[in-house]
Structure 1
Amino acid sequence: MARLSVIILNWNGKQHLDGCLESLALQSFRDFETVLFDNGSTDGSAEYVRERFPWVRLVAVPQNLGFAGGNNRAFDECQGEFIVTLNNDTKVSPDFLSELVAAAEADPKIGMVAAKMLNFYQPGRIDSAGVKVAANGMGYNVGVGETDVGQYDTPTEVFGPCAGAALYRRAMLDEVGFFDDDFFAYYEDLDLAWRGRLAGWRAVSAPGAVVLHVHSATSGKMSPFTVYHVHRNKWFVLVKNWPASLLGRHLFRILCFDLGALALAVLRHRAGAALRARWDVVRSLPLLLQKRKEVAALRRLTPPELAALLQPANSAVATFARKARE
């Protein structure tokens, strides 16, 4: 039985598969299996993998189950003690897996490990060195857009990993569950990180696990699809996971940032997607409140301990002005 299972989700990403799978084949860590889950591709991806990469276990379904649903189905096929989620539009360094495993083995309470993701087209620019949560309710990629000068090369505690290149300990997933199918795409990794942290699991970075990533290759930057799921799922995370004391303390700031996000969507001609997202949050409240009870049962950390994990938020007005100029 393989010690580690790599899950690669694919949806019409045939053009990325050579780079991703060939880099996996060169890993210094050898005790792993690869499960490629094809989410109803129509570009011949499944046939291509079956013919060119026979060592990959291919699971193909006729419809797109989303990032969350696809990974959950693939997880059912996995045997490993550790589960690595990896985007199809990536190339990984030869020590990618060994660095992730070494970081996890440092402490049995480490349930999540974040890789160091760099921009595929500008390898000197950081895509993600982990995920952080701010007091405005938003999740952010650590270091995104920054020039890589080694500022994130020391392993450190993070709130959670970006699921585009992350390791999860199976023992943690057995306790808190994997991704929430209802998210479909976006923020599902932050939701999982919240559940893990609430249950007392740690998350750390592994800067030696380097990944080149073509950001938004599948969904498109600021498409209506992206706007809808980001705006909706941010509220899904808040309602499901934030303790009442934290929500009460930061609600005004959260609402100010949400108003700014809605205004930006209007400026970018995405008002319909943004409004539909909020309406669907309201419609989903009964289900979200039931999930909130289930998440609360996992909680091991106190509200002050959770509050210490939040990062300060910038001014909502300044953030809106900066993004409006982008």
Structure 2
Amino acid sequence: KNTGFAYANNFAVKKCQGDWIALLNPDAFASSDWLKKLLEATELFPGIKMVGSTQYLANDNHKFDGIGDFYHISGLAWRGKHNQSSIGTILEDREVFGPCAAAALYEKKAFLDIGGFDEKYFCYHEDVDLAFRMRLIGGKCIQKSDAVVYHVSSGISGKASDFAVYHGTRNRIWTFVKCMPISGLLLFGIAHILLNFAFIFWSIFRKNRIKPTLRGVYDGVRGLPIIWKDRKTIQRKVNLIALLKILTINPIKPLMRGDGSIKIQLD
């Protein structure tokens, strides 16, 4: 039975020993020192809860698959520099919103304390949701520039499959409503609604996208009563003002899959 990415990883984490857990997708191929470099970040930057990898496309090593996950105030998440040329780019360790869970390191205690991945998501956007909840308890993420993996990127489910479009659409709505502080819902709620209308409009002109997009929006809205109950159980130690340091406000960055990282500033 396919129980999904979220359930499978939660099950595995509970069986793990040690203080840190490393996740690596079956379609991600790590460099020989990948894990060593991730663990190095936990020593260099005490107190962090997440570490991300520099991901290159497995079929084109001169293009990035991603340099961390970023989150716009409208609720749009993206992988920085996805499908962009890496030639001439000099990377350094930076703070990002969260790691792509295809190749990431999490503090086990923090992971379990906030409930791990939300199993209702099944897969897609579950790492963004987890990173948001980590952020709400004050957890930060370092993108380790020299922890390298080569990722097929949606090599299992298919990048533009109905499955991917549906789950990505539905889970994007759930993450925004569940995790965004109430002040953020009031300030940016209209932007999120407009974002979903924009995706619906855009899907009309994309082959076979309209049905899974509409179904994702419908099920996303229909599931909000349960998501709202989940919202009440989320630990919140960080307010919107603090979150805005890592949330992206510029509307151009997500459209260009830009780098939303910031200089590392640990408490």
Fold similarity call, TM over 0.5 = yes
Partner of 2:101: 163
Partner of 1:303: 240
| Match of residue 288, structure 1, among 221, 227, 233 | 227
Q: For residues 175-190 of structure 1, what are the structure 2 equivalents within 5 Å?
A: 175-190=113-128
Partner of 1:277: 216
Output one character per residue of 1:235-281: Cα deviation in whole Å (capped at 9) or x when no partner.
Answer: 11011100121122222322222111112222222222112212212
Distance, in Å, in 2 between the alignment partners of 1:195 and 1:106 is: 23
1:182 is paired with a residue of what secondary structure? Answer: helix
- Following superposition, the deviation at residue 171 of structure 1 comes to 2.1
- Following superposition, the deviation at residue 128 of structure 1 comes to 1.0
Change in 2 beyond 3 A, CA 1:152/1:261: farther
Change in 2 beyond 3 A, CA 1:169/1:160: same
What code does the residue aligned with 1:157 have?
E
- Say which is worse superposed, 193-202 or 273-282, in terms of deviation: 273-282
Output one character per residue of 1:127-156: Cα deviation in whole Å (capped at 9) or x when no partner.
Answer: 111111112211111121221146462101
Q: For residues 1-326 of structure 1, what are the structure 2 equivalents within 5 Å?
A: 63-149=1-87, 151=89, 153-268=91-206, 269-295=208-234, 298-314=235-251
Distance, in Å, in 2 between the alignment partners of 1:97 and 1:199 is: 25
1:84 is paired with a residue of what secondary structure? Answer: strand
Distance, in Å, in 2 between the alignment partners of 1:233 and 1:245 is: 21
- Following superposition, the deviation at residue 312 of structure 1 comes to 2.4
What code does the residue aligned with 1:251 have?
G
1:123 is paired with a residue of what secondary structure? Answer: strand
Partner of 1:23: none
- Say which is worse superposed, 281-290 or 203-212, in terms of deviation: 281-290
Distance, in Å, in 1 between the alignment partners of 2:75 and 2:117 is: 19
| Runs of at least 4 residues off by over 3 Å | 149-152
Distance, in Å, in 2 between the alignment partners of 1:152 and 1:288 is: 40
TM-score, normalization: structure 2?
A: 0.90
Distance, in Å, in 2 between the alignment partners of 1:208 and 1:146 is: 18
What code does the residue aligned with 1:193 have?
A
What code does the residue aligned with 2:30 have?
V
Distance, in Å, in 2 between the alignment partners of 1:319 and 1:302 is: 26
2:49 is paired with a residue of what secondary structure? Answer: strand
Partner of 2:265: none
- RMSD (Å), alpha carbons: 1.9
- Following superposition, the deviation at residue 315 of structure 1 comes to 6.0
Distance, in Å, in 1 between the alignment partners of 2:228 and 2:144 is: 35
TM-score, normalization: structure 1?
A: 0.74
What code does the residue aligned with 1:212 have?
Y
Partner of 2:262: none
Output one character per residue of 1:209-256: Cα deviation in whole Å (capped at 9) or x when no partner.
Answer: 100111111111211111100100001101110012112222232222
Output one character per residue of 1:23-56: Cα deviation in whole Å (capped at 9) or x when no partner.
Answer: xxxxxxxxxxxxxxxxxxxxxxxxxxxxxxxxxx
2:181–2:239 contact (8 Å) kept in structure 1 = no
1:232 is paired with a residue of what secondary structure? Answer: helix
Distance, in Å, in 2 between the alignment partners of 1:151 and 1:252 is: 36
Distance, in Å, in 2 between the alignment partners of 1:179 and 1:311 is: 23
Change in 2 beyond 3 A, CA 1:287/1:152: farther
Distance, in Å, in 1 between the alignment partners of 2:178 and 2:90 is: 30
**Greater relative contact order (Cα < 8 A, sep 6+):** 2
Change in 2 beyond 3 A, CA 1:125/1:315: closer
Distance, in Å, in 2 between the alignment partners of 1:204 and 1:122 is: 25
